[in-house]
Amino acid sequence: MTERALVLLSGGQDSTVCLAWALERFDAVETIGFDYGQRHRVELQCRQQVRSVMTQQFPAWAAKLGDDHVIDLGVLGAISETALTQDAAIAFNADGLPNTFVPGRNLLFFQFAAAVAYRRGIKHLIGGMCETDYSGYPDCRDDTLKALQVTLNLGMNRRFVIHTPLMWIDKAATWKLGHDLGGEAFERLVIDETHSCYLGDRTHKHAWGYGCGTCPACELRAKGYAAYHPGG
């Protein structure tokens, strides 16, 4: 039986590594992205470039990479007052969460992904959430996603499986995993084509890729790269 997967591809490092992980493991892989009015919407362009370069440089993966789906979730941005959906300084809220947290984002992402997967006959849903090295978002926690898998299966009467390959590894290990999957060429793809910066900065390039260099996403990515490439 053909094992098919749907990857939540944002255009960032984590989801791109997860796409490579899926292409190594499943017979056919599709991708899904979401336009929710994000401040760093340049990632929507980057995700297309990631798919294009991956198809050109990795023939074995290209043979498995199928359709891409982009879902308009503008309503999420409209009802969110966060630093990811508005021009606001990044800070911490009174509850200790960064104001880059978009409430319900990952929950909605997986619900819509499951709806697409239901129609496409896809069982496996894959996301780049991580509990080891992240910003404290509650919808990235393993318990949240396990509960969500149960809910999706009950609500749609299907046996979806949510995979989170990065859940228990830090950012340095994510760099290593990417290299293990695709070597130097894939690491270069991550550096040149993916986007993580919350401010959407594609004008400054660092050893680890493009970004402002100071937002939490850039700092995390840079720290992981330095740990994986000490002295480099």
For residue 94, what pLDDT is reported?
A: 53
207 part of a folded domain: no
pLDDT tens digits, one per residue of 26-41: 999 999 998 877 766 7
Stretch 152-174: mean pLDDT: 97
- Of 59 and 231, the structure prediction assigns the larger pLDDT to 59
Q: What is the DSSP string of the chain?
A: ---EEEEE--SSHHHHHHHHHHHHH-SEEEEEEEES--TTTHHHHHHHHHHHHHHHH-HHHHTTEEEEEEEE-HHHHHH--STTTSS----B-TTS-BTT--TTHHHHHHHHHHHHHHHHT--EEE----SSSS---GGGSHHHHHHHHHHHHHHHTS--EEE-TTTT--HHHHHHHHHHHHHHHHHHHHHHH----TT---S-EETTEES-SSSHHHHHHHHHHHHHSTT-
Q: Which of 61-65, 94-98, 204-208 has the lowest mean pLDDT?
A: 94-98
Q: How far apart are CA 215 and CA 99, in angstroms?
A: 12
Reported as a single tens digit per residue, the pLDDT across 190-200 is 999 999 998 88
> The pTM is what?
0.90
Exposed, middle or buried: residue 180 (CB in 10 Å: 0-12, 13-18, 19+)?
Answer: middle
User: Over the Cα atoms of the chain, what is R_g?
Assistant: 17
Residue 68 in any domain: the answer is: yes
- pLDDT class of 1 with cuts at 50, 70, 90: confident
Instruction: Read off the pLDDT of residues 129-142 as tens digits, 9 standing for 90 and up.
Output: 998 766 677 888 99
**pLDDT top residue among 193 and 100:** 193
Q: What is the mean pLDDT of residues 161-176?
A: 96
Q: Is residue 9 part of a domain?
A: yes
- Is the pLDDT reported for residue 180 higher than 70? yes
Query: Is 231 part of a structural domain of the chain?
Result: no
pLDDT at 84: 47
**Non-local CB neighbours of 10 within 8 Å, separated by 6+ positions:** 33, 34, 43, 47, 128
How many distinct structural domains can be found in the chain? 1
The residue-averaged pLDDT of 209-218 equals 92
CA distance 30 to 21: 13
CATH number, domain at 151?
A: 3.40.50.620
Q: Does residue 156 lie in a domain region?
A: yes
For the chain, the helix, strand and coil percentages under 3-state DSSP, each to the nearest 5: 45, 15, 40
73-93 pLDDT, tens per residue? 777 666 566 544 545 455 455
Q: CB-hemisphere CA count at 13 Å for 169?
A: 18
| Alpha-carbon torsion, ordered 54, 57, 63, 68, to 10 deg | 20
What residue numbers bound the domain in which 161 lies?
A: 4-196
Residue 119 neighbours by CB distance under 10 Å: 9
Res 201: pLDDT:
92
pLDDT grade for 116, boundaries at 50, 70 and 90: very high
Domain presence at residue 138 = yes
Q: Does a structural domain hold residue 217?
A: no
